[in-house]
C-alpha cells in the first residue's frame, strides 16, 4: 500500500517538475530573459580576463567574485571533519587499539601503490597549482591528493599520516585563507580583494592572489579528506 502511495507522490512531483522544465530552453542563448551582457554570466565572461587576469573563468568566480562561498565551503569541510571526529570519537579508556584494520593487501597492490602514490600526489599538486589556467583547482587537486593517501593507507598498515603535522597544515592553510581576506581589509579595500597586480592572462604567475588562495584551498582539502578517511578506516568492525 505504502509503495502505491509513494509512486503516486513521485508521479505528481515528476509532472510538476517536467512542466516547469518544458518552459526552460536547453541550449538556447544565455540565461535570463534579458540580453546576455546584463546578466551576471555575461559580465563574468567579458571581464574576467581583463579584470582578474585569470584564464579559467570558473576559478575566478569560485575564488574571487564569490569568494565568501568558497570560504563557507572550506568551513563546511572543516566542520564535517570535526563533526565526524566527535561522532565516531572513542574516549581513551574505550580505545582498545587504534591501528587500522589489517587488510591483507596483495603484493601487486603494494608494489603498484608504491609506484602510483608519488605520481598521484604530483598530479594533484599540478592540478591545484594550475587552477587558474587549466580546468581543475583547489578542490579537485586536493581530492586527487587525498585519493593518493587513501591508496597508501589501505595497502600499507605501517603507513600512518603524522596526525600532528596534518593538524598544523590544516590550521595554517585555513588561517592563511582567512588571512588573505583580512589582508584585503587591512590594505583598505574589501575582504578577500585581489590587491596584487594581475599579470598577463595565460602566464603561470597571473591572476594575483587567486592562484595562491586556490593552492591554500588545495592543501586544506587534501588534509581534511585524508583526515576523514583516516578516522573512518580506524573503526574496528564488531564481528
Partner 1 sequence: MVISPIHYIFVPLVAAFAIPLLSKLNKELPRIIPGIVLFYNIIISFVLMQEVNEVGYISEVIAGWRAPIGINLIITPFSGFLVSLISVLGFLIWLYGFRFKKVIDDGELRSYNILQMMMITGAIGIIITGDIFNLFVFLEIVAITAVSLTSFYRGRDGAEAGFKYLLIGGFASAMILLAILILYTQVGTLNMAEIAERMHTVPTGIKSTILILFIVGFGIEAELFPLNGWAPDAYSQAPGPTSTAFAGIVVKAGVYGLIRIIFTLFDIEGAYDFLIIAGLITMIIAEAAALKQTNLKRMLAYSSIGQMGLALIAFGIGTKEAVFAAMFLLLNHAIIKSLLFMTGSILMYNSKEKTISSLHGIAKRLPFISILFAIGAFAIVGLPPFSGFWSKLYILSAAADKEMIFLIVTILAVSVIEIIYYFRVVSKLYFAEGTTNVEVYKPKINAKISMLILGIAIFVIGFYPDLVTGYLHNAADILLDKASYIQYVLNTDSTIQ
Partner 2 sequence: MQEQFNEIFIKYHEIITIGVYGTAIALMLIGLYAILMKKNLVKIVIGLTILDAGIHLLFVGIGYIQNGTAPIFSPGYENSADRMVDPVPQALVLTAIIIGFAVTAVALSLVIRLYKHHNTAKIDQIKHLKW
Partner 3 sequence: MIFIILLIVMAVLLLAAAIYSIVNRDLLFAVMGTGIVSVILSLFFYLLQAPDVALTEAAMGIALTTIIFIITIRNTTRDENEIIDKEEEMKMKTDKES
**Residues at the site binding partner 2, with contacts judged by CB under 8 A:** 2-3, 6-7, 9-10, 13-14, 17-18, 21, 24-31, 36, 40-41, 44-46, 48-49, 55-58, 61-62, 66, 69-70, 73, 76-77, 79-80, 83-84, 87-88, 133-135, 139, 201-202, 221, 228, 231-232, 235, 238
Angle separating helix axes 210-233 and 107-129, nearest 10 degrees: 150
Among partner 3, partner 2, partner 1, none, what binds residue 2 when CB lies within 5 to 8 Å by partner kind? partner 2
Closest CA to 56 of 209, 211, 216: 211
Site string for partner 1, 178-217 (x = CB under 8 A): x--xx-xxx-xxxxxxx-----------------------
**74-92: buried (b, 16+ CB within 10 Å) or exposed (e) per residue?**
beebbeebeeeeeeeeeee
Residue closer to partner 3, measured from CB, 100 or 192: 100
Among partner 3, partner 2, partner 1, none, what binds residue 28 when CB lies within 5 to 8 Å by partner kind? partner 2
73, exposed or middle or buried, with CB in 10 Å at 0-12, 13-18, 19+?
middle
Integer angstrom CA distances of residue 181 from 122, 177, 209:
28, 7, 10
Instruction: Answer yes or no whether residue 215 interacts with partner 3 by CB under 8 A.
Output: no
Cell of 9: 507522490
In the list 12, 68, 101, 204, the residue contacting partner 1 (rule: CB under 8 A) is: 68
Closest distance to partner 1 from the beta carbon of 87 (Å): 5
Dihedral of alpha carbons 134, 139, 142, 146, sign = negative
Euclidean distance between CA atoms 4 and 49, whole angstroms: 55
* Residues binding partner 3 (CB under 8 A): 56, 58-59, 101, 127, 135-137, 139-140, 143-144, 146-147, 150, 225, 228-229, 232-233, 235, 237-238
Amino acid at each position: 500500500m505504502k509503495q502505491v502511495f509513494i509512486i503516486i507522490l513521485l508521479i505528481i512531483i515528476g509532472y510538476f517538475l517536467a512542466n516547469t522544465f518544458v518552459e526552460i530552453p536547453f541550449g538556447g542563448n544565455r540565461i535570463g530573459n534579458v540580453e546576455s551582457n546584463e546578466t551576471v554570466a555575461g559580465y563574468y565572461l567579458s571581464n574576467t580576463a581583463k579584470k582578474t587576469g585569470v584564464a579559467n573563468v570558473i576559478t575566478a568566480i569560485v575564488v574571487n567574485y564569490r569568494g565568501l562561498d568558497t570560504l563557507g565551503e572550506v568551513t563546511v569541510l572543516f566542520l564535517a571533519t570535526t563533526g565526524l571526529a566527535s561522532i565516531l570519537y572513542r574516549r581513551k579508556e574505550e580505545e582498545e587499539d587504534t591501528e587500522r584494520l589489517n587488510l591483507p593487501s596483495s603484493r601487486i597492490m603494494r608494489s603498484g601503490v608504491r609506484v602510483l602514490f608519488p605520481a598521484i600526489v604530483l598530479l594533484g599538486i599540478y592540478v591545484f597549482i594550475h587552477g587558474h589556467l587549466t580546468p581543475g583547482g583547489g578542490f579537485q587537486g586536493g581530492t586527487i591528493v587525498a585519493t593518493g593517501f587513501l591508496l597508501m593507507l589501505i595497502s600499507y598498515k605501517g603507513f600512518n599520516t603524522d596526525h600532528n603535522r596534518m593538524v598544523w597544515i590544516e590550521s595554517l592553510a585555513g588561517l592563511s585563507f582567512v588571512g588573505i581576506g583580512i589582508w584585503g581589509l587591512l590594505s583598505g579595500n574589501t575582504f578577500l580583494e585581489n590587491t596584487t597586480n594581475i599579470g598577463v592572462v595565460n602566464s603561470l604567475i597571473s591572476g594575483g592572489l587567486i592562484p595562491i588562495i586556490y593552492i591554500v584551498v588545495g592543501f586544506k582539502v587534501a588534509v581534511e579528506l585524508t583526515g576523514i578517511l583516516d578516522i573512518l578506516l580506524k573503526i574496528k568492525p564488531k564481528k
